[in-house]
Structure 1
Amino acid sequence: MRWWTLRAMIGAAVPIGAGLVAYAIAGSWRPWLGPLLGAVTVLAVAHAAVVPTWRYRVHRWEATDDAVYALSGWLVREWRVAPLSRVQTVDATRGPLQRLLGLATVTVTTASASGPVQLVALDDAEATEVAARLTATVAATRGDAT
């Protein structure tokens, strides 16, 4: 949950910082820019306070010998299933914030038009193990991978 919270806080800091810079350099625009900046700040802080917890409670995944399953979303929930016989690649990635927190994302790519299935915010060791296990299972699975 820390990863989602930090991402939301960084995302909130960008519009608030831009608004503060605009307010500092604005001359005649200040009377209407102040309330707008206040509204943006309230929305950004509310988003950072609510969305990470909600996303963390919804996000679920499972990797079996037959498929990879992932549930994600916070307003619109998406249940994705990637049969291992259709998997083309399995990747483990670690962005700067994830490395700082010891996390990783496992991306399972198929030929689906919906895009890859992502298992986000996994413990780094768990992500490495899941990626290795999925890679070995996919290599042993007969399928067309298209």
Structure 2
Amino acid sequence: MSDVGGGPVLREPANRVSPQAVPFWTVSALLGDAAVVIAAAAAYFFIPDVPGWVGLVVLLIGVLAIAHVVLMPRIRFRVHRWEVTDTAVHTREGWIGRTSRIAPISRVQTVDSRQGALMRLFGLSSITVTTASAAGPITVDCLDADTARHVVARLTAITAASEDDAT
């Protein structure tokens, strides 16, 4: 934090996610968007007596899908950041909107890691920090798998050393 105009200003988290996040998000978006485009095109071509304007809708869906696959991963990579300190876990994420979350270490209850099949292909893992908060857990997606293991170990050590109860 720094002071600007008489009040504290929150700085952005220090660390980016893995560069492998870009191809991972691209493939994930491609798989999901391809299913939608194929379903829309199949409906258009195989359902009898479909109005002509539906073809324009299918085309628009295709164009939006391409834009999503091309733009979203790069924007997310520029935005997504994370940081773990001895006092807090801080994340920022989003690609259209932005969400920043900060959880004091004293509120951390559990630390989990996850690595799905597609993430494993890209050498990525995600960590989820569950806190005593109504806002829900904090997730850091697309960390290099080794980095994720180190972060989980560090958070475990920090929270074990904390005298506060995370309730």
The yes-or-no answer on 1:112 pairing with 2:133 is: yes
Contact 1:103-1:123 at 8 Å conserved across structures: yes
Quick check: 1:69–1:79 contact (8 Å CA) kept in 2? Answer: yes
Give 1:141's aligned residue: 162
CA contact (8 A) 1:93 1:104 kept: yes
Q: Distance in 1 between the 2:146 and 2:110 partners?
A: 19
1:17 correspondence with 2:38: yes
The answer to whether the 8 A contact 1:58-1:72 is kept is: yes
> Which residue of 72, 97, 109 maps to 1:88?
109
Whole-angstrom CA distance in 1 between matches of 2:132 and 2:35: 35
- For 1:22-58, what per-residue CA distance to the aligned partner results, in whole angstroms no more than 9, with x for missing partners? 1232110152321111011011111111111101100
CA distance in 1, matches of 2:95, 2:60: 22
Unaligned stretches of 5+ residues in structure 1: none
CA distance in 2 between partners of 1:24 and 1:76 (Å): 36
Q: Is 1:101 the counterpart of 2:122 in the alignment? A: yes
Cα pair 1:4 1:56 within 8 Å, conserved: no
Q: Which has the higher contact order (CA 8 A, sep 6+)?
A: 2
Q: TM-score, normalised by structure 1?
A: 0.94
**Aligned to 1:58, which of 47, 72, 79?**
79
TM-score by length of 2: 0.83
Q: Aligned letter for 2:117?
A: P
1:37 equivalent to 2:96? Answer no
2:4 aligned residue: none
- Matched residues, percent identical? 47
Deviation at 1:136, TM superposition (A): 1.3
**Aligned counterparts of 1:65 and 1:142: Cα–Cα separation in 2:** 13
1:145 partner SS: coil
Flag the structure with higher helix content.
Answer: 1
Cα distance in structure 2, aligned partners of 1:133 and 1:110? 16
The answer on whether the counterparts of 1:89 and 1:110 sit within 8 Å (CA) in structure 2 is yes
Q: Is the 8 A contact 1:106 1:120 kept in 2?
A: yes
Count residues with an aligned counterpart: 146
Is the CA contact (8 Å cut-off) linking 1:86 and 1:145 kept in structure 2? yes
Matched, 1:130 2:166: no
Distance in 1 between the 2:161 and 2:155 partners? Answer: 10
